[in-house]
Chain A
């Protein structure tokens, strides 16, 4: 089955006055139709930039330096701004972190919904309104027929995020890019929104790229997950495998340092040091200065994604030859 979204050796550069920073250094992954892929990493790893590059909303001077982004087999990274505008909304929907700033405070929710619907679908004003009401009902907003004429400030945070989800789904896209959709919400609302997103995307057959730093959300929502570090993907695979049997030392360290409800520990495992800044990325494997299992090859040669059990990890430990030597 053809992948819905295919990213191939994507490189994003940010030219600055002290030289060019390589924010994303050759990442490749794909999303199948209807699949939920999680992209997880700490701040500075480049996950939000990846989402922005895909939607075509990279803030200048950041730009796609090389690589390809294919949506349903056709390239979208080299389209003009005008063409990209058609793709955005119609085929790719976006959900951002802050529901307060995602909605225009000057227009009613109904106006924003019908505007989006009519921009991408050939329907009349009345039909667009009916669809909008249907969308609001689907996202669980009570009294949708009345609330459609309310302004964003009349909704609470969780309700606003539901409206944002409705907006993202309005033109029936095949892919949704969600950047930290639940981070700004209370814990009890988070659970509701995650459930909603899962259900709606499943019903409509939309794939989701879920960008977040919260492993719990990933565990509950995604089918597969990609772990990013310093602008590279260090591990990618089915969610259950990555969490319970991580192949990359960074993933393993990360899982150990998260305080979890089910396991009580005296000390949390800590990874000493910090993620390298973009202008000081180590040679070879970017994680090698902090890795407890580093050896010479790691310092020199940058690893590619290698099959390691059920997942793929960018780590020389899993290289077939190395495995033989160590074993």
Chain B
């Protein structure tokens, strides 16, 4: 068993240029606007494990997902899959084979399947694209197998997506993602658009598949309860930066970063113990003009002068990685 992590992300960053058009900039004297969607993120995922990335809107977790599967090219930093640099490999024609190992599941079950294609065509596309099967009959058999593995029947392959419910469509997406027998699956909020009981079905299937096939997941979500259920390790993002990375149990038992604490505190809980909660202050700032120093300092009850000046680095403290001056200085 290789001790090397399957996925290693190193100082990954992505900046989008959202400046107004050149003419507007000249005439109205508007400045260039750069959006640092992801601003230096580093983490590792071990083979067969699930890492979750949580955060609120605008934190950059979806961008990280797309960087990992090669939909975007990074502005800085690297992603290594099984020791191989992903973006360098994908830039070569020979790197196409890498796409068989990394696949993605999307959030919207209605937009992630082509409404004009049959289920067979959708699930079979990766097989055809990578020439894994070439004969019609073999393709059909393989598609049947894939559909069965997600709890659907082979007869569903002649139907169209609109004939299925949200949960079933998400299963078809999973079947498509598994077609090339990948090792790494990036799941971008796969159950956020589903009802609770359907969510339970899909999460159970994903866990079963992971156990059977030794899959590695990167699970993006904003729902901490779901994250607690599925993940092994958790990374918390805020405005494009990782503020805390820890083993699941450690994070939920003893959150260190003030934002993590705030987040855990804010979730409406079914089995509320009636304890008084510190209400969260303020809102996520505009990502186009992030605060100086630590991005969280305007909302942080523990911020001091250093926090507004110096950006904290992700440091290993007591077995977890936290980016917080107050934690580093043992103030909290």
Which residues of A are interface residues toward B (Cβ below 8 A)? 42-43, 156, 158-159, 186-192, 194-195, 213-217, 219-221, 243-244, 253-255, 257-265, 267-272, 274-275
Q: B263 touching A260 by the CB < 8 A rule?
A: no
A43 to chain B: which residues have CB within 8 Å? 166, 195
Q: In angstroms, how far is the closest chain A Cβ from the Cβ of B31?
A: 19
B226–A255 CB distance below 8 A = no
Contact B267 A216 (CB under 8 A): yes
- B284 touches A (CB below 8 Å): yes
In the complex, whether B204 has a CB less than 8 A from a CB of chain A is yes
Closest to B252 in A: A261
Partner of A274, one of B167, B223, B229, B265: B167
Which residues of B does A touch, CB under 8 Å?
56-57, 165-167, 195-201, 203-204, 207, 222-226, 228-229, 252, 262-272, 277, 279-280, 283-284
CA distance in complex: A42, B197 (Å): 8
CB-CB nearest in chain A for B191: A259
Q: Which residues of B contact A158 (CB under 8 A)?
A: 283
* Chain B interface SS verdict (over half): helix
Contact B271 A260 (CB under 8 A): yes
Counting residue pairs across A and B whose Cβ atoms lie within 8 Å, the total is 119
Q: Is the CB of A254 within 8 A of B197?
A: yes
Hey, which chain A residues are within 8 Å of B56, CB to CB? 186-188
Nearest opposing residue in chain B for A272, CB measure:
B201
CB distance from B187 to the nearest CB of A (A): 15
Interface centre among B56, B197, B224, B264 (most CB of A within 10 A): B197
Give A172 to B268 CA distance when docked, in angstroms: 28
Residue of A nearest to B262 (CB): A188
Supplied contacts A195-B279, A268-B229, A269-B200, 14 more A-B pairs, CB within 8 Å: A42-B197, A43-B195, A186-B283, A188-B263, A191-B268, A191-B277, A191-B280, A216-B267, A221-B268, A254-B197, A257-B196, A260-B269, A261-B224, A262-B269
Nearest chain A CB to B224 CB, angstrom units = 7
Residue from the list A190, A243, A264 in contact with B229, Cβ < 8 A: A264
Q: A192-B280, A274-B167 are in contact. Are A259 and B272 (CB under 8 A)?
A: no
Contacting residue for B197 out of A186, A244, A270, CB 8 A: A270
The 6 tightest CB contacts between A and B, nearest first, are A216-B268, A257-B200, A42-B195, A268-B200, A186-B56, A259-B229
Question: Could you list some 9 contacts between A and B, CB below 8 A?
Answer: A187-B224, A188-B56, A194-B268, A253-B197, A258-B200, A259-B203, A260-B269, A261-B225, A268-B203
- Chain B residues with CB below 8 A from A263, complex form: 271
Given the interface contacts A188-B280, A217-B268, does A260 sit within 8 Å of B197 by beta carbon? no
A190 near B266 with CB under 8 A, answer: yes
| B contact residues around A189 at 8 Å (CB) | 280, 283
The answer to whether B165 and A260 touch across the interface, beta carbons within 8 angstroms, is no
Pick the residue among A186, A255, A267 that contacts B57 (CB under 8 A).
A186
Residue from A159, A186, A213 in contact with B195 in the complex, judged by beta carbons closer than 8 Å: A213
**Given A156-B283, A220-B272, also A261-B267 (CB < 8 A):** yes
Q: Assuming the A-B contacts A42-B196, A42-B197, are A260 and B204 also in contact, with contact meaning beta carbons closer than 8 angstroms in the complex?
A: no
| Residues in B neighbouring A260, C-beta threshold 8 A | 225, 269-271
CB–CB B196/A258 < 8 A: yes
Which residues of chain A are within 8 angstroms of B198 by Cβ–Cβ distance? 42, 274
Which residue of chain B is the closest to A158 with respect to CB atoms? B283
A187 touches B222 (CB 8 A): yes
When chains A and B are docked, how far (Å) is the Cα of A270 from the Cα of B57?
29
| CB-based nearest B residue for A186 | B56
